Amino acid sequence: MPELPEVEVVRRGLAQWVAGREIATAEVLHPRAIRRHVPGATEFAARLKGRTVISAERRGKYLWLPLSGAEEALMAHLGMSGQLLVVDPHAPLEKHLRVRLGFTDGGPDLRFVDQRTFGHVMLTALVDGVPEPISHIAPDPFEEAFDDEAFTAGLRRKRTEIKRALLDQSLISGVGNIYADEALWLARLHWARPTQTLTRPKIAELLAAVREVMGAALAQGGTSFDSLYVNVNGESGYFDRSLEVYGRRDQPCSRCGTPIRREAFMNRSSYSCPTCQRRPR
DNA sequence: GCAATTACCTGAGGGC
DNA sequence: TGCCCTCAGGTAATTG
């Protein structure tokens, strides 16, 4: 599923292929895809018609396209299986096509395709340049607005486990299950480590690890493990970046050779090295 | 107010 | 062949 590096690849594609173009038609093929757009499909389509896409922006895993005419944007979250495809308007409709935008220039459609329907799109007001529904989430660690000190202080105030805090959007956004495991491995931290026991230097190390693993994936255009994800041009955005722990159950840790363990965590999986990442007492 | 848990959703893959 | 179960997991909503 798309995590931050993959979403950034999509954003770049949107900036290249969609920005500057005027929307002619908007078609909602599945109501669930716009479930967070309260006024409904008819209003959604009417409000998009005639608007020009200004640019493509991102915070964490949220994408949005600011529109001409008002402080408003078309916002999207890809969920687990969402794709934004730029395809020939005459191309056959995808099986899981949810929303389709046509443009006045007669060029390629922008299509929102989503098998598992965890993703969604909506029209929303921009407040200081950020969509109103996501004003409560923290900036992601690659934004200039990200405040390392606020993250550190906030983490030490929390009374929870470190991985929960990483996945929670309130202190840092854009970190999903895969990169949380990868960053914790790099920083030699067990996922259940209580946040209030982390020292400032250790938090700095963790933050550097988060940026390292996501930055490396970003430099290569994303990571590779799920064929559902396709980037804005309809081609795989994933590359063969080897993951150190995620999905590597029973395979040797590259640092010490100990078999990687898989543990149940929040109704999903957590992968770690039993030697490098000691469970807190 | 904060932390923890659950709901949402579809298709792949395994067991029988 | 086909049915049932498990798994994948980000976020909002709900519960504690």
Does residue A271 contact residue A245 with C-beta atoms inside 8 Å?
yes
User: A8-12, A201-205, A222-226: which range is least confident on average?
Assistant: A222-226
Per-residue model confidence (pLDDT) at position A66: 97
Question: Measured between alpha carbons, how far is A163 from A177 in angstroms, rounded to an integer?
Answer: 9
Q: Which residue is closest, via its CA, to the C1' of B8?
A: A118
Per-residue model confidence (pLDDT) at position A221: 63
Q: Is the CB of A161 under 7 A from strand B?
A: yes
Q: What average pLDDT score do residues A155-177 get?
A: 94
Please write the tens of the pLDDT for every residue from A36-90.
999 999 999 999 999 999 999 999 999 999 999 989 999 999 998 898 998 899 9
Per-residue model confidence (pLDDT) at position A241: 53
Does residue A84 contact residue A78 with C-beta atoms inside 8 Å?
yes
A163 is catalytic: no
Report the CATH architecture of A148-272.
Answer: Orthogonal Bundle (1.10)
Please, how many CA atoms are within 13 Å of residue A160, restricted to the half-sphere of its CB? 12
Residue A170 has pLDDT above 70, yes or no: yes
Any idea which nucleotide's C1' is nearest the CA of A167? C10
| Residue A220 phi, psi dihedral angles, 5° rounding | -100, 0
Q: Is the CB of A94 under 7 A from strand C?
A: no
Residue A199 has pLDDT above 50, yes or no: yes
Closest-CA residue to A194 (of A224, A172, A164, A219): A164
pLDDT band at A223 (very low <50, low <70, confident <90, very high): very low
Question: Measured between alpha carbons, how far is A17 from A166 in angstroms, rounded to an integer?
Answer: 33
Q: What average pLDDT score do residues A165-189 get?
A: 95
Q: Is the CB of A158 under 7 A from strand B?
A: yes
Residue A157: which residues within 8 A CB-CB, separation 6 or more?
Answer: A196
Residue A89 per-residue DSSP state: T
* Domain boundaries of chain A, sorted by first residue: 4-134, 148-272
A4-134 and A148-272 have identical folds:
no
A249/B16 CA-to-C1' distance in Å: 26
The residue that leads in pLDDT, A224 or A262, is A262
Q: Is the CB of A79 under 7 A from strand C?
A: yes
Q: Is 3.20.190.10 the CATH classification of the domain at A4-134? A: yes
A221: left (phi over 0), alpha (psi -120 to 50) or beta: left
Residue A116 among known ligand-binding residues: yes
Residue A266 has pLDDT above 70, yes or no: yes
